[in-house]
Amino acid sequence: MASTFKLVFAVLLLQLLDFCRGGKVGVDYGMDANNLPSPDQVSDLVKKHNIQYLRIYDSDPKVLKSLSNTDIELIVGVHNDDLSKFQFQSYVDSWVKNSILPYYPATKITDISVGVEVTDSPDAANLAVPAMRNVVSALKKVGLQDRIKVSTPLSFVVLSKSYPPSDGAFDGSHDNVLGPLLDFLEENQSPFMVNLYPFYAIGDSSLDAVLFKSPSSIFVDPNTGFSYKNIFDAQLDAVHFALAKRKSRSIPIIVTETGWPTRGSGRHRLAMASLDNDDDSYASIDNAQTYNTNLIRHVTDGSGTPARPDEELVVYIFSLFNENLKQGPETERNFGLFYPDMTSVYNLVFPGKGTGRSWCVASRQASNSALQNALDWACGPGKADCSALQPDQQCFEPNNLVSHASFAFNNYYQKNGLTAQACRFGGTGIVVYNDPSYGNCIYNVKSRDPNGRTWCVATSQASRSNLQNALDWACGPGKADCSEIQPNQRCFQPDTLLAHASFAFNNYYQKNGATDASCSFRGNAIKVDRDPSYSNCIYH
């Protein structure tokens, strides 16, 4: 019996690993312009184009409000000019109270980026880490230190050497910042944020290598034997190796900026860049579309990098709009995916999050020590419910670290909004899209109804405006009974448009024969075969 169980579990694990692929692609929403659409219009735009991850450079309340109930995960920022004020805990406490709490969790804030490329500015460099510590202290006071992570994006020039990637090393002149920063990231299980622009490396590499178009290897790292086919992977692995040299291998990486300009001078802002200043032929719509299309394909195909083939890539494309007030050469004002009138500069397809359920499990690439630390943290007071992992309980077998960590990670992930942040665990967690439950061990998702019953819920792919219109219709006279989603009633929480619409849609669906026609809501609803009820909120 034991050998049969192990064989079945091994098969399930292999099936699970087939679905542990794919990264996340977001967009930087800069506002250095005087001709941009309103935040509400932008919210509808990003939903329309299936953009599920955004980064802004401040905490504009209009933007935060516009993204409420959209399910879009958001990184908010702090300007370098504000870092001096963030040296005072009382100021930061007030900032969190006024700029974060009024919008969270309806707006899915997952990270706060404190400053931008601070190593390029001596004043900002000395202020960044103390400001970050104050932000964490403020988040702890309101119980959000585990749900919202704090970091600071650095430019690629923080590396003194990047070729070959295995020789990647940080510039020692930045040790006054990097030492405290890496300690902070380790302590708080926060990501290392870096901006990578292969566009500025064209002078040292072929255009095909930069555009992900090389049919074969462009070089082999002589120290590792790893074969590289594109410059993005080479740059990212240089950062991986630089972190490893600082004993910080377990810190996950977020590429907070990368992209390609569609027009302008070939002059560039990075010190190591070597493009011909008079040649603007590389900055074109065709090249931008090729780079970003191939980048998305590479990030979402789950292939990782040569040094980290199974690590999930998290990348943000710069930028949402062309920004007419950005300083510097013309290229800086022409990185946008959209013109200010919201028409596309070129067509780009985003993968979104999919329409199905997701789970969080342990990465098989994580070291035992990193996985044990993450498991201990996840099972700590007030976090995951790990009781099912105790001896003689339904999820104790198989009694191994990956299995136990997977259950604990998922329990925490399900309880904390199913965000990318809630599945980080210091880079040891990965999001998957098929149910890892086995035997009697259920990963926080109800089994299919044995009688074949179905329910009708709102789809996360619907725009806010369409969902609101459908909810208003469903709760109209003689249709769904929406009394239970009123304030202080048992289905009011979570107070989100998606949750309220799901309850109303299902109520109407059940009252009207549970037919396909009664779960249409103009394409804003989907049928599911698992009971969406939760706590005291029963989906009759």
Please report, for the domain that includes residue 513, its CATH number.
1.20.58.1040
CA distance 72 to 535: 25
Q: With bands split at pLDDT 50, 70 and 90, how would you rate the model's confidence at 432?
A: confident
Tell me, what's the pLDDT at 18? 38
Does residue 352 belong to any structural domain of this protein? no
Burial of 221-259, coded b for 16+ CB within 10 Å and e otherwise, reads: beeeebebbbbbbbbbbbbbbbbeebebebbbbbbbbbb
Same-domain pairing of 274 and 413: no
Q: With bands split at pLDDT 50, 70 and 90, how would you rate the model's confidence at 523?
A: confident
Count of CB atoms within 10 A of residue 14's CB?
A: 9
Does the pLDDT value for residue 241 go beyond 80? Answer: yes
Range of the domain at 373: 357-432
Does residue 2 belong to any structural domain of this protein? no
**Domains of the chain: total:** 3
Count of CB atoms within 10 A of residue 71's CB?
A: 21
Same-domain pairing of 424 and 491: no
Tell me, what's the pLDDT at 530? 67
Asked which of 50-59, 319-328, 374-383 is least confident by mean pLDDT, the reply is 374-383
Asked which of 15-19, 23-27, 160-164 is least confident by mean pLDDT, the reply is 15-19
In this structure, are residues 200 and 206 in contact, taking their beta carbons and an 8 Å threshold?
no
Same-domain pairing of 276 and 224: yes
Beta strand segments in 357-506, E: 359-362, 429-432, 455-458
> Ranked by mean pLDDT, which of 79-83, 141-145, 395-399 comes out on top?
79-83
How far, CA to CA in Å, does 54 sit from each of 77, 112, 257, 416?
Answer: 11, 12, 11, 19
Percent of the chain beyond pLDDT 90?
Answer: 56
Of 333, 365, 388, the one marking the end of a domain is 333
Does the pLDDT value for residue 274 go beyond 50? Answer: no
Please count the residues of the chain: 540
Backbone dihedral angles phi then psi of residue 285, each to the nearest 5 degrees: -65, -40
Of 332, 270, 238, 258, the C-alpha closest to 299 is 258
CA distance 137 to 135: 5
Same-domain pairing of 204 and 277: yes
Q: What is the dihedral of CA 400, 402, 404, 408, to 10 degrees?
A: 170
Asked which of 162-166, 444-448, 502-506 is least confident by mean pLDDT, the reply is 444-448
Q: How many Cα neighbours within 13 Å face the side chain of 351?
A: 21
What CATH number has the domain bearing residue 116?
3.20.20.80
Same-domain pairing of 153 and 267: yes
Does residue 338 belong to any structural domain of this protein? no
Does the pLDDT value for residue 2 go beyond 70? Answer: no
Give the angle 75-26-79 at the CA atoms, nearest 5°.
Answer: 35
Same-domain pairing of 87 and 235: yes
Q: What is the mean pLDDT of residues 25-43?
A: 96
Asked which of 46-60, 107-121, 302-316 is least confident by mean pLDDT, the reply is 302-316
Same-domain pairing of 176 and 298: yes
Q: With bands split at pLDDT 50, 70 and 90, how would you rate the model's confidence at 431?
A: confident
Does residue 350 belong to any structural domain of this protein? no
CA distance 183 to 294: 35
Tell me, what's the pLDDT at 357? 64
Which two three-digit tokens encode residue 195?
A: 């901006």
Count of CB atoms within 10 A of residue 402's CB?
A: 18
Tell me, what's the pLDDT at 268? 44
Does residue 447 belong to any structural domain of this protein? no
Which active-site residues does the annotation give? 117, 257
Does the pLDDT value for residue 443 go beyond 70? Answer: yes
177-195 pLDDT, tens digit each: 999 999 999 999 899 999 9
Same-domain pairing of 59 and 147: yes
Does the pLDDT value for residue 387 go beyond 80? Answer: yes
Q: What is the mean pLDDT of residues 142-150?
A: 92
CA distance 109 to 221: 39
CA distance 445 to 221: 45
In this structure, are residues 327 and 26 in contact, taking their beta carbons and an 8 Å threshold?
no
How far, CA to CA in Å, does 398 sit from each of 7, 18, 256, 384, 390?
Answer: 11, 20, 38, 19, 11
Same-domain pairing of 309 and 187: yes
Angle between the N-to-C axes of helices 497-511 and 464-474, in degrees from 0 to 180, rounded to the nearest 10: 40
Same-domain pairing of 147 and 35: yes
DSSP states along 118-186: GGGSHHHHHHHHHHHHHHHHHHHHTT-TTTSEEE-EEEGGGEEE-SSGGG-EE-GGGHHHHHHHHHHHH
In this structure, are residues 345 and 321 in contact, taking their beta carbons and an 8 Å threshold?
no
Which two three-digit tokens encode residue 69?
A: 């109930």
Same-domain pairing of 489 and 398: no
Does residue 376 belong to any structural domain of this protein? yes
CA distance 420 to 73: 8
Which two three-digit tokens encode residue 46?
A: 């990003």
Percent of the chain beyond pLDDT 70?
Answer: 88
Asked if the bond preceding 248 is cis, omega within 30° of 0, the reply is no
CA distance 487 to 491: 9
> Ranked by mean pLDDT, which of 19-28, 65-74, 423-432, 524-533 comes out on top?
65-74
CA distance 194 to 379: 30
> Ranked by mean pLDDT, which of 167-171, 246-250, 356-360, 419-423 comes out on top?
167-171
Does residue 347 belong to any structural domain of this protein? no
CA distance 149 to 114: 11
Asked which of 134-148, 309-323, 461-475, 498-512 is least confident by mean pLDDT, the reply is 461-475
Does residue 55 belong to any structural domain of this protein? yes
Same-domain pairing of 296 and 396: no
Asked which of 141-145, 148-152, 288-292, 491-495 is least confident by mean pLDDT, the reply is 491-495
